[in-house]
Amino acid sequence: DAKTTQPNSMESNEEEPVHLPCNHSTISGTDYIHWYRQLPSQGPEYVIHGLTSNVNNRMASLAIAEDRKSSTLILHRATLRDAAVYYCILRKASGTYKYIFGTGTRLKVLA
């Protein structure tokens, strides 16, 4: 299974944009890029996913490099409630959906 690499931790000031990077140099052509986050004392929750094109939803944006070997999750205005561990996950487009979580990035938001 393809692996992802993320920085262990990042800090951001409240109401500023946050760019969370993820490297996935062994990604295959049909792997989807998923992002989940885990707030303290909760299970992970879906944030966004994409295949090749950049994606936007109400929570975040996902920017995918042209060669797909890296991606960036963008939170446009971080709030204190965005403090969480953010996981970048590759999921195959065929077969049984297995999520292999990377080590994740712990985001700290400063007031």
Partner 1 sequence: DTEVTQTPKHLVMGMTNKKSLKCEQHMGHRAMYWYKQKAKKPPELMFVYSYEKLSINESVPSRFSPECPNSSLLNLHLHALQPEDSALYLCASSQETGPSGGYNEQFFGPGTRLTVL
State the residues that interact with partner 1 by CB under 8 A.
32, 34, 36, 41-46, 49, 87, 93-104
Residue 89 CB, nearest approach to partner 1 (Å): 9
Q: Burial-class residue 81 by CB neighbours within 10 Å (0-12, 13-18, 19+).
A: exposed
Name the residue among 31, 27, 69 with its Cα closest to residue 49: 31
Residue 1 or 11 having the CB closest to partner 1:
1
Residue 5 CB, nearest approach to partner 1 (Å): 13
Residue 29 or 43 having the CB closest to partner 1:
43
